[in-house]
A and B are shown apart, each in its own frame.
Chain A
């Protein structure tokens, strides 16, 4: 009896001690690209190499990360780590990893994109997470239609106007519905605007509405009025609603579609050999040949009870061999400088997709500083929402370009005022 008591006490004591020692963190991610599925083998290895420490992957939809996660974080709840895309907007919740990771290595590999995670404090040197992959806006072109029309495909250095002219001729010759199309997204329009000289945000984080933006809006509206672009996206939809019509490109109803690198996989699987297509280098505007970067990041949150484990895990994922393995599995553009320069092999991707990925990757060094600045701005989404809403109003003759520019500035200032000072 006495022995049984001692035994059970010892077992209880050991169990309590083990529970106190065992550390577990949850990582929330979706299942696309650099997400839970691609990370799973690396996470499994981490768990095996670190007994008593557990990293648990929680697969959720992208919508959950965009809509539910911010509310969870605001109430001090949610996962310990997540892969997020609103890099600047959630910056106040990030755990500073500087003391847990090799800061010099992070700066060297992810230097430019780390800035995006410092949204509310651009002067900060904090390591707020690990940028996972880059997405790049870009143009998909139906080469078969160009060939049928007998018109040469504009090459690197071609301007937006060159593309508009060439695709108009192709559409006319091949009886295609529309020459050009662009997602209804402030992010996509920002590529066009920055290449026309728009700054969108200055170094101090103030919104900028300049002649570059005016020129871009005027040209964009003109293309909608003269039928170069269909009204279905920017004309028909209102408010801040995001809308894509990539099916138009998949069905060969449009010659040139301005979307992004994330649709590559869809192109590969749905178009296959139905027609020849390619991703073209970024069209040039009067100012630059830039497109907008984007991407996700693996970040830890301040509310975690295991900050050391969060830091250890993110540092583990960032190790070159682990990071390269995940990037290759996800068929995405790496965010690490060494892989951008050295290139990545994607064993599961087709040759055409590999070429397209290479084209997208080649646009990264050409990106204008304004594009990087805009991507990391805390109020980027406020500006993007204002752009979509107001440009659609101009297309529908509800506002003049001047009035739209004034409204865009007001909208962003209202959002900033409401968030920063608590007033309007």
Chain B
């Protein structure tokens, strides 16, 4: 017997060792629980993780939202029923935040409802365009792919501080404008400009991530379909609308869902870049929750928990609608 064969045999014995130990244990468990209950044995480790890290925080959040005080320990927090929700939802006219008891919550919600569709549309549109360009046989393709992905690796705070340095009154952009004889603009002081730059900076920072996913989707489309279209003399626009887009739809759906979730969660870049200003022009719902629960003294955990649950419900409804639409389309 050669040394190689002996080694292979030893390795096989070693590999079978765990099975030899586990098998009698599993047999014992099966005898004890019965075959029907055995799947639970395999599911319990994962279920425990989900319970501890996903479901338990949700229940804790619900508990905090129906209790008051600035105390952290659950036992120190008195039950206040729906008081936190009533405070948040107390409005004479839901379309006019100034008539609401917590006007900043409604301003933040309004800003979020405007920010999310604008940012998601810009993000997907630009990421798709970039992915199509990077999918072509251009020179320095690898280099450009790296360049577009680079901002994704930066810390959000670094991104925000860099752009703040560019956009501030004496910043790089105004330096450039002055150098070419134009009047400088105080970008972060004008509400509309601040909102535009908020969208721009977040798209710049995260676009690379979605570009990579879309690029992978584009590369999975068989080349022969394009070759057939070429033989049929199909125009580039027709190829894009009849081949690329339909075949990219599953990837686009994933990108869309991820993009919406990330967009709703936007916080760090804007918190550093604008702090939610000017006034409340760029305050988003997550910033409201953060400030209410953690930044403002005394900390109002109950109100913050209630706001985050309301946000969670909106997201849940949105996801269900989205799944329904996706399912309807796939059946259709």
Residue contact B186 to A232, C-beta cutoff 8 Å: yes
Give the docked Cα–Cα distance between A177 and B169 (Å): 10
The verdict on A191 contacting chain B, using a C-beta distance below 8 Å, is no
Q: A238-B280, A240-B295, A381-B297 are in contact. Are A423 and B80 (CB under 8 A)?
A: yes
* B201 interfacial contact with A, CB 8 Å: no
Q: Is the CB of A382 within 8 A of B274?
A: no
Closest B residue to A243 by beta carbon equals: B275
Closest Cβ–Cβ distance, residue B132 to chain A (whole Å) = 37
The answer for the CA separation of A253 and B169 in the assembled complex, in Å, is 11
Q: List chain B residues, Cβ under 8 A from A143.
A: none
Asked if A349 is at the interface (CB within 8 A of a chain B CB), the reply is no
Given known A-B contacts A71-B72, A232-B168, A253-B170, A419 and B298 have beta carbons under 8 A apart: yes
Given contacts A75-B73, A86-B297, A389-B104, contact A238 B277 (CB under 8 A): yes
Is B208 positioned at the interface, with any CB of A under 8 Å from its CB? no
Nearest A residue to B187, CB-CB: A236
The size bracket of the interface on B is 35 or more
B302 beta carbon closer than 8 Å to chain A:
yes
- Shortest Cβ gap from B297 to chain A (Å): 4
| Whole-angstrom distance between the Cβ of B292 and the nearest chain A Cβ | 10
Dominant SS among interface residues on chain A: loop
User: Chain B interface: which of A11-19, A144-152, A410-418?
Assistant: A410-418
Contact of A50 with B by CB under 8 A: no
Q: Is the CB of A231 within 8 A of B69?
A: no
CB neighbours (8 Å) of A86 from chain B are 297
- Interface Cβ pair total, 8 Å cutoff: 138
Assess the B84–A424 pair: CB atoms within 8 A: yes
Please tell me if the beta carbons of B298 and A236 are within 8 angstroms of each other in the complex: no
> Chain B interface secondary structure, helix, strand, loop or mixed?
loop
A235 adjacent to chain B (CB < 8 Å): yes
Q: Report chain B residues within 8 Å CB of A415.
A: 296-298, 300
Structural contact, B279 and A393, CB atoms closer than 8 A: yes
Binds B, one of A195-203, A336-344, A363-371, A394-402: A394-402
Which A residues are CB-close (under 8 A) to B303? Answer: 414, 418, 424
Q: A398–B279 contact, CB under 8 A?
A: yes
Task: Judge whether B189 and A403 touch: CB under 8 Å.
Answer: no
Is the pair B98, A385 in contact by a Cβ cutoff of 8 Å? no
Which chain B residues in 35-82 approach chain A with CB under 8 Å? 67-73, 77-78, 80
CB within 8 A of A74: which of B71, B194, B276, B283? B71
Q: Per a CB cutoff under 8 Å, which of A67, A239, A243 touches B291? A: A239
Residue of A nearest to B294 (CB): A67
Contact of A396 among B86, B87, B169, B279 (CB under 8 A): B279
Q: What is the CA–CA distance of A74 and B72 in the complex, to the nearest angstrom?
A: 6
Q: In the complex, A253→B275 CA distance in Å?
A: 23
Q: In the complex, what's the smallest C-beta–C-beta distance from A179 to chain B, in angstroms? A: 15
For B103, what are the chain A residues with a Cβ–Cβ distance below 8 Å?
407
B104 closest partner in A (C-beta)? A389
* CB-based nearest A residue for B302: A418
Give chain A residues whose Cβ lies under 8 Å from the Cβ of B275. Answer: 237-239, 241, 243
Residue in chain B with minimal CB distance to A253:
B170
| Contact with B68, one of A237, A395, A399, A422 (Cβ below 8 angstroms) | A422
Q: Which 8 A-B pairs have the closest CB atoms?
A: A238-B277, A396-B279, A238-B276, A422-B68, A241-B275, A381-B297, A422-B78, A237-B275
Inter-chain pairs besides A422-B78, A424-B83, 16 sampled, C-beta below 8 Å: A231-B189, A232-B188, A235-B279, A237-B276, A240-B296, A389-B104, A392-B277, A395-B279, A396-B278, A396-B280, A397-B279, A398-B279, A414-B87, A414-B300, A418-B303, A422-B68
- Listed in ascending order, the chain B residues whose CB lies under 8 Å from chain A are 67-73, 77-78, 80, 83-84, 86-87, 98, 101, 103-104, 107, 168-170, 186, 188-189, 191, 194, 271, 274-283, 287, 291, 294-298, 300, 302-303
